[in-house]
Structure 1
Amino acid sequence: MEMTKIVVPDTPLGLKAHVTWADRHRLRDYAQIGQKLFIQRFVIYSAAILLTGFYYDWGTAAFYFAAVILCELFDFKVFNTVLKRKSLTPRVFRRDMVKVYIGTFLSALTISMFCISIARLQGLGGGHFFPLFMLVSASIFAAMNNHHFLLVLALRLFIYVAAILYIPIRDVVIVQPPLNSEIWMSLFTVLFVLGFIVELARNFLVGYSVQLASRIELENEHKRALSAVDAKTRFLATVSHELRTPLTSIKGALDMINSGVLGKPPDKMGRLLEMAGRNSDRLGDLVGDLLFLQSSDAGHMTLNKERLDLGRLAHEAVEQTLPYAQRVNVTIRVDATPDEHWIEGDKKRIEQVLLNLLSNAAKFSNVGGDVRVTVETLDDQVYLRVRDEGIGIPKGTETHIFEEFFQIDSQDDRQFEGSGLGLSISKRIVEAHGGEITYDSELGVGTTFVVVFDAADTAP
């Protein structure tokens, strides 16, 4: 995509007619690193200037100290303005870039003239270690921290390199030493160091460009993911609400017919009507699940918490699941003493978790299988376990088992019915209560789901 390209400014000063995401990121990154290193630069420059005053001339030191302070304050104000700004129009971006170039030019020129002044105070020859060391350090510092804009880095390095070359060349021109003199050696050493600085700057510039491209691509992927989630949420909400109204009418009519209020239907129709009633209940549950997911994704899940007896709820859930378990020839046993295992929770939602786990256990059990439900309290936590002797969960599905619409058997002719929403909804409900849901499974042997809640006080 065009917005994700890392481009070199297309006008002499990089003042574009439009602002890309790369421009915004570069400017903010430049301002952040500049502001972050403000104290560090101030301490380094202050120490260098104090050394100059102590060893050479206090007047020169005072002049450049004032100049450095002014440059740093100007940069700090520019950086602070950039970081506080909420939006960035092309006009504002151009204005900011002009300030960045001005600040770059003034600060680089101040440091260079300061180092040249020290070299002059030192006299001819002598290697000029201190001023050259300051200039080389400033160049390396620029390569490491000013690589966000090519022209900004080039401008700063051009000024530093000019000053670095000026100091030894000035000695060569004035002294005119023989080729075996250390003055020439200083010049050759400077040339060698400049090659290192240029290569260092190139590496940092390329590395930052690659990193920025990756960051922008990640942002684009994140926005596309958010758009997909939003589209899915709106789709679920629309479809669920559109289904609920006619489904409610159909279910109500079937319930009235099956109840005999309108008279007993013919025997041949009775079985079909009962089947239609069961399937309308299934559709109603599916629509309810979809609406729950939609409200959960939108952050609208509300919990009406109260003190609950999880042992009693387990018995009630087993009673509700028994008709289905008997239909698939599965036995459900419960080991949960009432009035002993208390939690704080939404009764309707906790029941939903219990029913989801029980129906799953019965559905995936072998014919004649046994499902065991246990509830116990240990160390201020209440453990609910639902164990089946069914097909088990294959390895490699650990990260998917609680995903929406995930099915262990996803073939078109799969044996087991279901929408694949039960475990995902259960996980959301449990985590909304501050609990945790996990499982342990062995293929062909069975699965145990474990739900953990914080225990409530036993006393009402």
Structure 2
Amino acid sequence: MYETGQITDPQQQDGVAEMLAYQLKDYAKAGLSLFWQRQAIFGSALLLEAYYYSPLMAAFTLCLVIASEIFDFMCFRRIMLLNDYSSDREAFTCLMLVQVGTVVSAGIIAFFALSISLAQGPTTHFMPLFFLFAAALFAAMNNHQILSLIVMRLLIYGVTFLFIPIWDIWQTSAPLNSELWAQFFTSIFVVYFIIDCSRIYMKFYERNRQQLQKLQIEHETTKNALRSKSEFLATISHELRTPLTSVKGSLDLACAGALGPMPDKLQNALGIAQRNASRLHALIAELLDLQQIESGKMSFTFETVKADTVIRRCVSSLEPYADGLNVRYVLGDMPDDVYVHADEARLEQVVTNIMSNAAKFSFEGGEVDISMVATDDKLRILVRDRGIGLATGDKEKVFDRFSQLDSSDQRRAGGTGLGMNISKKIVEAHGGSIDYVPNPDKGTTFFIEFDRAAMPAEIYTAEAS
């Protein structure tokens, strides 16, 4: 099945070696997982032989079994070390070793059955034939990964299975109507049954292997598609950001009056353009953040950060946005001696995102409460709104990429659906957690939790002095 001398194409030979390594690993895994089951079967069989027939022969067979099991175990361990960097020669060497091990272990079982049948003399030989049948069925169920191995094993068992009744017939010159001939014909049927079982198990294994291979190919195709999508998003975002930054900068200057007085109608039109340019700029920034996270290239500059300072700065920057929605931010308990080890800009990005979402989904005239709860080793930042609220079962959508709870064209709040997913990744990169709980009355409370950091030495010294 794996004769490399017939394969001249290096790519075909690599494919055969790769498939062989896969099948060898399946074979080794089965062998290792069934180790103690095999020992229990061997032990029971040898105890019966020792008690009813020959203790000396049972002891000799036990020595052979131990040697065979040690050899197989070493082969299995060697096979499990095969990887993408292993040479083709190593895979074929492992195949040769397990073929040797198969011949040896099957030969020992055949020797065990023959020794008992010879000790019994001409009879029905239920015990040795049963153990041969059990060994053959065990092989059909668990050693069907490689064709050459199952053929070798079943060939040895089959020859032994037929030899035992034939030997009795020859020794006794039994007539055709004797029990010995009935045993021989039954043995033929049993051998056929074992071969057919092996064929079915091999066919089932091959079908599963092909399905798994198909799934792996589809998985690689999906990964390549996702990689292409990420690269496309990154390229487009970079290409859009440069001209958009110029457009936004010009609009900001014009709206600030740096270009001179303008008519009211033009001022209103420029204001609309400025708001939409800012929105596009924020969307592109989210796409770039997502691409950096997926590629593992998002960088962090960790330092000791005063938590309430970050929150107050976020409130100040978002107050104009909240005013536009007729929503008010209310600061609650804000301990001023709490520090965390974080990237200040990224922490501010997360808090800003949660606070802006709270305002966005609040009703007009509503309030958003921001507070902190500190323990000896943890800090929790809470943002509580009284808006439309979220259900506990919505968490997967809330923190998923490109996900909107309301994805209809008439949804109240816009956005890419990336903000919370990016925030979750950033918080997790800080070793923290982010979650939410529905409020008892209405609205939702989002919270992020971090480990507290010690107060910087220079600040502690200054306060002490």
TM-score range, shorter chain: 0.7 to 0.9
Q: Which residue of 2 aligns with 1:386?
A: 383
Shift of 1:78: 9.0
- Conserved 8 A contact 1:52-1:61: no
| Structure with the bigger percentage of helix | 2
**TM-score after normalising by structure 2:** 0.80
Tell me which of 225, 228, 232 is aligned to 1:228: 225
Q: From the superposition, tell whether residues 414 and 59 of structure 1 become closer, same or farther in structure 2 (CA, over 3 Å).
A: closer
Does structure 1 residue 171 correspond to structure 2 residue 148? no
- Conserved 8 A contact 1:403-1:424: yes
Give the aligned residue type for 2:244: L
Give the aligned residue type for 1:228: A
Q: Distance in 1 between matches of 2:334 and 2:109?
A: 81
Aligned sequence identity (%) = 38
Give the aligned residue type for 2:267: G
Shift of 1:425: 1.2
Q: Which residue of 2 aligns with 1:253?
A: 250
CA RMSD, Structure 1 to Structure 2 (Å): 4.2
Give the aligned residue type for 1:28: K
Q: Which residue of 1 aligns with 2:114?
A: 116
Could you tell which deviates more after superposition, 18-27 or 226-235? 18-27
- Conserved 8 A contact 1:22-1:212: no
Q: Distance in 1 between matches of 2:352 and 2:143?
A: 61
Q: Which residue of 1 aligns with 2:145?
A: 148
Q: From the superposition, tell whether residues 63 and 354 of structure 1 become closer, same or farther in structure 2 (CA, over 3 Å).
A: closer
Q: Distance in 2 between matches of 1:71 and 1:412?
A: 68
Could you tell which deviates more after superposition, 268-277 or 447-456? 268-277
Q: Distance in 1 between matches of 2:66 and 2:345?
A: 69
Alignment of 1:17-56 (within 5 A): 18=12, 19=15, 24-34=21-31
- Conserved 8 A contact 1:118-1:131: yes
Alignment of 1:428-447 (within 5 A): 428-441=425-438, 445-447=442-444
**TM-score after normalising by structure 1:** 0.80
Q: Which residue of 1 aligns with 2:340?
A: 343
Q: Which residue of 2 aligns with 1:4?
A: none
Does structure 1 residue 268 correspond to structure 2 residue 262? no
Q: Which residue of 2 aligns with 1:238?
A: 235
Give the aligned residue type for 2:425: R
Does structure 1 residue 278 correspond to structure 2 residue 268? no
**Corresponding residue pairs, total:** 450
Q: After superposition, what is the alpha-carbon deviation per residue over 1:240-265, rounded to whole angstroms, capped at 9, x for unaligned?
A: 11112111221222233333333233
Does structure 1 residue 328 correspond to structure 2 residue 325? yes
- Conserved 8 A contact 1:258-1:274: yes
Provide structure 2 residue ranges, at least 5 long, that are not aligned to the other structure.
Answer: 461-465
Alignment of 1:1-12 (within 5 A): none
Does structure 1 residue 287 correspond to structure 2 residue 284? yes
Q: Distance in 2 between matches of 1:93 and 1:306?
A: 51
- Conserved 8 A contact 2:377-2:451: yes
Q: From the superposition, tell whether residues 96 and 309 of structure 1 become closer, same or farther in structure 2 (CA, over 3 Å).
A: closer
Provide structure 1 residue ranges, at least 5 long, that are not aligned to the other structure.
Answer: 1-8
2:22 alignment partner, SS class = helix
Q: Which residue of 1 aligns with 2:463?
A: none
Shift of 1:162: 2.0
Q: Which residue of 2 aligns with 1:80?
A: 78
Give the aligned residue type for 2:365: G
Shift of 1:441: 3.0
Does structure 1 residue 310 correspond to structure 2 residue 307? yes
Q: Distance in 2 between matches of 1:383 and 1:64?
A: 65
1:397 alignment partner, SS class = helix
Q: Distance in 1 between matches of 2:230 and 2:158?
A: 58
Q: From the superposition, tell whether residues 253 and 153 of structure 1 become closer, same or farther in structure 2 (CA, over 3 Å).
A: same
- Conserved 8 A contact 1:32-1:79: no
- Conserved 8 A contact 1:373-1:386: yes
